[in-house]
Structure 1
């Protein structure tokens, strides 16, 4: 089983960043003051923290957990000008315990099987966590008068409410009292508890393996320093609380905006066995059926046609595999067989031979033209990705290999289908990279766009389930 590492480490980055901000609650509440009256403070005052995290959507769950705990401790530079955080979280899935650690700028995973707790598996991983955004979240925190998530008002009885964002996700930070802090977001909340004692976090042992350092300490600006130590926050007059606006965040889920209706799924390629009836099994659709508050089933004037990563001019992955099966190329990225199928190729995969290329025929070219005309004239909404990396999952590595090794016509592809193939005949100016866009151009690989993985915690460009749920 491949754990959702990117989600966990991204979770660490954000929650540790906000943990830093939360330290400002210790004994004194942060106040907004003029630069000339600021009180000096020191990074050395930063304590260890305990964060309780609540995820509001099933598509975000980590190892099946919608709630979990993170423990973190600051590592401050000798000159007290920069800091990073060590942290860990533990999950149990079945008979296996997964312990995620971030120590000295390195990300680790320790797997322990209950049947053999002595022999542990330790791995190290690089990470693409946007740490600069975490620092910016501290630098840019500003006071606000009120906030709401959907139609629910954020209750902050103390009145000390701040807004900030991390990697595109907005949060309202409520300073309640000296013992805690709550961050409210559209899709997650977390509560911070300040610990009296220091949390010791040590790196696991790896035999003859040197893990890459993915994070070093980051310089702390005066605003961030004030948040970390509980000092006064310097703001300009343009950020005065009296002129700040209400902060509104999206509701965590979408309800049906029209009349609930049945839905038909066409699963496309990848069925191992020919079946007489349409199938909605999880191996083809993940948990997509849970994201359908309302859909149509009859092809009348009111029918909504939603397309996902359709190869409307074909896929060069089909041509690539046919070259290999015909012994026209000697080298093949065997790690992508799960995506492309194997030799001999079945007819359904051959049917996606690239339009006007050597494996296409006059009949197939004509069929493409007819399909494109129907697509252009009847499509309601579509998802076409321009990236093959996607969220972390068991499909990510093979998708990256396919995105690079298949001789695609464009680097903008989801590993199997190019954006230009998926969007052929459509006005590309209609596409946006937010789940709120009707025509969605996300940063997802082909497995992500078929709902076999999960939504990213923060990026609006990596939330296929929420996009689908909020369409109609």
Structure 2
């Protein structure tokens, strides 16, 4: 259930905000300039930020601005296709030097556009600037970002205040060296993530997690952070989401380059070795070919299976250790709904052609991966006896609308002129009016427009789903990973007449579970039944993974699943 008009160019807002949060405080962005080769340079003032020789006497002038250089170890985590980027952060410190938050910014350039993410006075902003071929600005828009997409800063601050000394540290079997500094472990309890910090005083520090390296440099000059001007009429409520936090002496030392307090304050006597988990997973089952079946919104069909479908699915070549090959079914899901008998038979015929061990009606030795209405169509085909899954096959479903979607009910009303102009915009944004044939097949079960035959078909499909699906990904939040169209999902999630606020913008969590017990779902990528904080588009793997939130790693979930 994903239309081309809703296909954003990917990056993750939460990833960027997590990057800010790792400074240990609240960040906000500042202006920056692009050099002739596209490199970004911060705007700075000439006021020197001297390092403090004692955390107890530190004040605002003793807290330096920071440059954080991020290196992302997994391709699914890249931002705007970049495996490395810099975040600049400027501390805002209380008079006694014990409470702090950060302003900060990061810039990304992609072809003819530049996107800048800010945190100013605890408010998150994004500015997108469109450029022509000469580099001249042709359009610019700034809007505030909702609190729901911000990282839990309090958890991060608490973690930095509770660092413990590590005797040694290893990642992927390799020793993390910290010859000239102190080695610490940080555990983000709410995020189920560990990080090792090598603090080298005024020389800076390096932080290591399973999938990320962060090099922190204390800047000689303070970063200048201007307050962005929000574009009139833009979406997003400008709310302050963060505030200054009390810092322990150790945390203050880490963020200023001051000497670390003595071993008694640091609890050195209880130091233990730390081992960071592996950044990759291997196949735990039998490697098999993988068949991908898309959802609503594709306006063309292919008679044969394709080797790629990059306009819908993300690149999983590095994140699918069990897939011996990739095959994609392409069907016209604008004209044809999930409950079309002919289409279900075509789906079965194509699915049984993937592996030689399959029969004409049984799908064998195949990993079947479905998104949205594709999952409902497969369930319908199984329920009607057109084909079946052999025990040697595994069905992995994402965001399946097993009870339909209130978005379809609303689209039907909106396209018939039953809503105000503002509400019609939602239908136009999602292109639902141009695909009413398929949309009508997703009318909400038991709702105003679903008839008895449709309700019965849903029940049969749900039973087939529960009996056959090996793993499922369902979301209870529409905050998701960030793209230029993310405001559409915020609008859909908050204004469509969903039965519950737990939805991905288009499909409710309870609809996606198809009657599977909610308690079977966990919010970690290692959970077979995965309760995520992703919007409906994110679960196509198109937008990769979030940096830190374990409930926002769809690609890693798939990599470690089988």
Which bin holds the TM-score, normalised by the shorter protein? Answer: 0.7 to 0.9
> How far is 1:467 from its partner?
0.8
Equivalent residue for 1:96?
113
Over 3 Å counting, the alpha-carbon distance change for 1:340 and 1:40 in structure 2 is: closer
**Alignment partners' CA distance in 1, 2:231 and 2:320:** 49
Q: Deviations over 1:26-49 (max 9, x none)?
A: 798xxxxxxxxx984424432233
Equivalent residue for 1:463?
553
Alignment coverage as a number of residue pairs: 455
Equivalent residue for 1:35?
none
Structure 1 stretch 319-328 or stretch 203-212: which is displaced more? Answer: 203-212
> How far is 1:18 from its partner?
11
Q: Which runs of 5+ in 2 are unaligned?
A: 1-7, 28-50, 324-364, 368-388
> How far is 1:221 from its partner?
3.3
Contact kept in structure 2, 1:173 and 1:181, CA below 8 Å: yes
- SS state at 1:353 partner: coil
TM-score for both structures, normalised by structure 1: 0.84
> How far is 1:402 from its partner?
1.6
Contact kept in structure 2, 1:386 and 1:419, CA below 8 Å: yes
Over 3 Å counting, the alpha-carbon distance change for 1:311 and 1:124 in structure 2 is: closer
Over 3 Å counting, the alpha-carbon distance change for 1:83 and 1:410 in structure 2 is: closer
**Alignment partners' CA distance in 1, 2:447 and 2:224:** 57
Equivalent residue for 2:129?
111
Structure 1 stretch 242-251 or stretch 372-381: which is displaced more? Answer: 242-251
**Which of 309, 331, 346 in structure 2 is aligned with 1:281?**
309
Contact kept in structure 2, 1:122 and 1:206, CA below 8 Å: no
**Is the aligned partner of 1:42 residue 2:50?**
no
Equivalent residue for 2:294?
267
Counterparts of residues 329-340 of structure 1 (less than 5 Å): 329-330=419-420, 333-337=423-427, 340=430
- SS state at 1:193 partner: strand
> How far is 1:272 from its partner?
1.6
Counterparts of residues 54-203 of structure 1 (less than 5 Å): 54-108=71-125, 109=127, 111=129, 113=131, 115-117=134-136, 121=140, 123-126=142-145, 128-158=150-180, 160-166=182-188, 168=191, 169-176=193-200, 179-195=203-219, 197-203=220-226
> How far is 1:396 from its partner?
2.4
**Which of 278, 281, 290 in structure 2 is aligned with 1:254?**
281
What is the RMSD of the two structures over their aligned residues, measured on CA atoms? 3.3
TM-score for both structures, normalised by structure 2: 0.72
Over 3 Å counting, the alpha-carbon distance change for 1:328 and 1:178 in structure 2 is: closer
Equivalent residue for 2:70?
53
- SS state at 1:343 partner: helix
**Alignment partners' CA distance in 1, 2:310 and 2:524:** 25
Over 3 Å counting, the alpha-carbon distance change for 1:116 and 1:213 in structure 2 is: farther
> How far is 1:448 from its partner?
1.2
> How far is 1:11 from its partner?
1.4
Q: Which runs of 5+ in 1 are unaligned?
A: 20-25, 29-37
Equivalent residue for 2:34?
none
**Alignment partners' CA distance in 1, 2:498 and 2:436:** 21
**Alignment partners' CA distance in 1, 2:123 and 2:400:** 39
> How far is 1:117 from its partner?
4.3
- SS state at 1:79 partner: coil
- SS state at 2:394 partner: coil
Equivalent residue for 2:450?
360
**Alignment partners' CA distance in 2, 1:384 and 1:303:** 21
- SS state at 1:92 partner: strand
Contact kept in structure 1, 2:502 and 2:509, CA below 8 Å: yes
Equivalent residue for 1:10?
18
**Alignment partners' CA distance in 1, 2:20 and 2:290:** 38
**Alignment partners' CA distance in 1, 2:429 and 2:238:** 30
> How far is 1:303 from its partner?
0.6
Q: Deviations over 1:320-361 (max 9, x none)?
A: 222233445456633433675333544322222222334323
- SS state at 1:148 partner: strand
- SS state at 1:144 partner: strand
**Alignment partners' CA distance in 1, 2:231 and 2:395:** 54
Over 3 Å counting, the alpha-carbon distance change for 1:219 and 1:265 in structure 2 is: same
**Alignment partners' CA distance in 2, 1:96 and 1:9:** 20
**Alignment partners' CA distance in 2, 1:399 and 1:122:** 18
Structure 1 stretch 411-420 or stretch 246-255: which is displaced more? Answer: 246-255
Contact kept in structure 1, 2:55 and 2:249, CA below 8 Å: no
Over 3 Å counting, the alpha-carbon distance change for 1:115 and 1:165 in structure 2 is: farther
> How far is 1:458 from its partner?
1.0
Q: Deviations over 1:129-154 (max 9, x none)?
A: 43323321321111122233343332
Over 3 Å counting, the alpha-carbon distance change for 1:261 and 1:80 in structure 2 is: same
- SS state at 1:251 partner: coil
